[in-house]
Amino acid sequence: MPAPSLISTRSGWNRIAPMVFALGYSGEKPAREIDLVFLGSLTSRRERFFARHTDFLSQRNCHLRFVPLGFAKTELSRSYLPAAQRNALLANSKILLNVHYSDQRYFEWHRMLVGLANGCCIVTENCAGYAPLIPNRHFVMVEHDALIDACQYYLDHPDECARIASAGAEFIRTELRQAAGCAALLQALECDDNGTGVEAPEHTISATPQSDPEPAALPRGLHGTLLERKSFWNALRKDLLTSDGNSSRSVPEKPPPPPTALERQRLRENVATRRTGYLQRRREQESRLSAGEEVWAIHDNAEFARAPAPQISVLITLYNYAAFIEGCVDAIDRSADMLAVPIEILIIDDASTDDSWKRARRAQNRVTRPVRLVRKRFNTGLADARNIGTHIARAPYIFMMDADNLVTPRALSFLFNTMEREQCAAAYSILCRFRKTPAHPVGLLSHYDWDKEILVQGPYVDAMAMFRRDVLLALGGYDHTLSEIGWFGWEDYDMWLRFAQRDLPVGFVPNILCLYRQHETSMINTTNLFARDLVGLFQERYQLLANQFVPRERLFGVNRSELASVTETISVNEEVRKADGE
């Protein structure tokens, strides 16, 4: 066996003993179907980066696999890929993108070696500690803001992409002759990342650190593009210094300040009033239905009667979103162009008080697809609107969305294909969160693969997803009682917990295909005012599900420490009595 060696890590020089390890390279040159892959933990820096580049990523075959930072892998964790699946994914990918998780600029050997060995073209932002590899010969290295330009260039120039990938793989096979050394390097770095260090072997030899070689020249075409882009951003920065315009680039989110005691009291009163109104209107709706009265009116366009039976019902819930409904329908219309199956569009107007109905009718008459509008007499909340739409829908699959959100052109086709291929009960993709327009991204949502262990810690999957209609009906639809007790928006989380509890198969499309509009008012989560009641209800329903996993810091969206110290929570019944004037 070769003698142990000394390698450099972020915490210093570690002594390693060689061992046998398979990096995954097979020597073959497969046709690679995935344009770009990213594997790593999700940090705020990475989240902002990927959200900012939604437009590029959504147009490419990308595989973005994020895991929570510091999340411990278990046998049940689906977010992590076993080595064999990881190698298969990399062997099917053209570019492995590396975005540093923080502002530290070190070469991530444990990620790079596996990518190189599986024939990927590595594209990374500037870093240090990459010797003896040479940037732009064995891998591509550019500034953070130039990463997507570099990916675009090499995807548009497949021969140059293959040249970089081949040089990196050849370096692994020849110049790094002993795969065991790579294995020990990977092990040392992974241990170093975990803060455990590496135990020194009994016999070691010293080694002298190598200086990083100068990067090779970038291709002329890419170099010119980067110069133009840099000039553009410099000019834009100068303009922003002398204007109050908004940059399209994302900025870190600032958490809202905690409400004062008076604000908390007003929020509680507002919640109590809203939920009492929902309850009263729902009772009125049920009473009218029992009496045989119509509580909603249906309006179909001409295409509805003559169109073939739909395979997908796009269900759009609408309440006072007059400014957004036409854009939402237009986005669905564009996405349907890429489908090989027919769709129908259902718009459920939950008794809007603005021009939403007028705008919805205008959108209905403009598109050439079957569109059915349902105008409710009573505003009974999001869950009830979705349930009504689910019963009215004719297709076996339902894509659920709110009228203020958007989809990219490939969203429906990718979700439908996933449902068909994997025989899922539901499927979702990563969402880009934005404010005002998609040009102002703030982060991601639905960013992890379906993982029940992560789900019981807190909600991370949005309602914007595709479902089997028969499954939604079998589950009894969305729980409207949550809104009636003041927990607005939590019917989505409750539904996903039911999927998890029944172990229903849920598919995941690892790319950003949908866009979620984040309103300023949504920054204040009034549900936190009733945290103990909320978690208590979920514990009654889903404690058996939570018991399958090791207890974590959070349970059903609330920190356990905060849960134990909640003292201001007013019970649900007490708040309802106050709102009813008792």
Over residues 324-339, the pLDDT tens digits come to 999 999 999 999 999 9
Q: Is the pLDDT of residue 24 over 80?
A: no
Tokens of 51: 């959200």
Q: Which residues pair with 374 in a beta bridge?
A: 298, 348
Give percent above pLDDT 90 in the chain.
61
According to the model, what pLDDT value does residue 197 have? 38
Question: In which band, very low, low, confident or very high, does the pLDDT at 182 lie, cut at 50, 70 and 90?
Answer: low
CB 434 within 8 A of CB 442: yes
Q: H-helix or E-strand containing 467?
A: strand 465-468
Q: CA-CA distances (angstroms) from residue 157 to 46, 120, 538?
A: 26, 14, 52
Contacts of 10 (CB under 8 A, 6+ apart): 104, 106, 192
Contacts of 87 (CB under 8 A, 6+ apart): 23, 24, 114, 118
Question: Is the model more confident about 81 or about 75?
Answer: 81
Question: In which band, very low, low, confident or very high, does the pLDDT at 370 lie, cut at 50, 70 and 90?
Answer: very high
- Omega before 505 within 30 of 0, i.e. cis: no
Domain regions of the chain by residue span: 5-233, 263-429+444-528
Alpha-carbon distance 434 to 439, whole Å? 8
Instruction: Tell me the whole-structure pTM to 2 decimals.
Output: 0.84
> Smallest Cα–Cα separation from 338: which of 414, 273, 400?
414
Lowest mean pLDDT among 145-149, 259-263, 365-369, 493-497: 259-263
Most confident of 23-32, 70-79, 404-413, 553-562: 404-413
Place of tokens 């909603």: 296
Question: Is the model more confident about 182 or about 162?
Answer: 162
Domain 263-429+444-528 has CATH 3.90.550.10: yes
Question: In which band, very low, low, confident or very high, does the pLDDT at 12 lie, cut at 50, 70 and 90?
Answer: very low
Average pLDDT over residues 263-268: 75
SS (H, E, C) 167-213: HHHHHHHHHCCCHHHHHHHHHHHHHHHCCCCCCCCCCCCCCCCCCCC
Lowest mean pLDDT among 12-26, 424-438, 539-553: 12-26
Q: Is the pLDDT of residue 234 over 50?
A: yes
Domain 5-233 has CATH 1.20.1440: no
Domains 5-233 and 263-429+444-528 share a fold: no
Place of tokens 């949502």: 445
CB 387 within 8 A of CB 480: yes
Lowest mean pLDDT among 74-83, 162-171, 436-445: 74-83
According to the model, what pLDDT value does residue 534 have? 76
Residues in the chain: 582
Query: Which 8-state DSSP code applies to residue 529?
Result: G
Lowest mean pLDDT among 73-87, 353-367, 436-450, 545-559: 73-87
> Smallest Cα–Cα separation from 186: which of 16, 41, 13?
16
Which parts of 199-300 are beta strand (E)? Answer: 296-300
Q: Is the pLDDT of residue 152 over 50?
A: yes
Average pLDDT over residues 8-29: 45
According to the model, what pLDDT value does residue 563 have? 65
Contacts of 9 (CB under 8 A, 6+ apart): 188, 189, 192
Q: Is the pLDDT of residue 475 over 80?
A: yes
Contacts of 373 (CB under 8 A, 6+ apart): 298, 299, 300, 347, 349, 357, 360, 361, 364
Question: In which band, very low, low, confident or very high, does the pLDDT at 184 lie, cut at 50, 70 and 90?
Answer: low
Question: Is the model more confident about 198 or about 163?
Answer: 163
> Smallest Cα–Cα separation from 319: which of 406, 364, 385, 259?
385
Average pLDDT over residues 549-556: 88
Q: Which residues pair with 140 in a beta bridge?
A: 123
Q: Is the pLDDT of residue 27 over 90?
A: no
According to the model, what pLDDT value does residue 150 have? 98
CA gyration radius for the chain? Answer: 27
According to the model, what pLDDT value does residue 174 have? 84
Q: Is the pLDDT of residue 352 over 90?
A: yes
Q: Is the pLDDT of residue 5 over 90?
A: no
According to the model, what pLDDT value does residue 1 have? 41
Which parts of 87-170 are beta strand (E)? Answer: 93-98, 121-125, 140-142
Half-sphere exposure of 51 (CA within 13 A, CB side): 32
Question: In which band, very low, low, confident or very high, does the pLDDT at 103 lie, cut at 50, 70 and 90?
Answer: confident
> Smallest Cα–Cα separation from 264: which of 535, 531, 528?
528
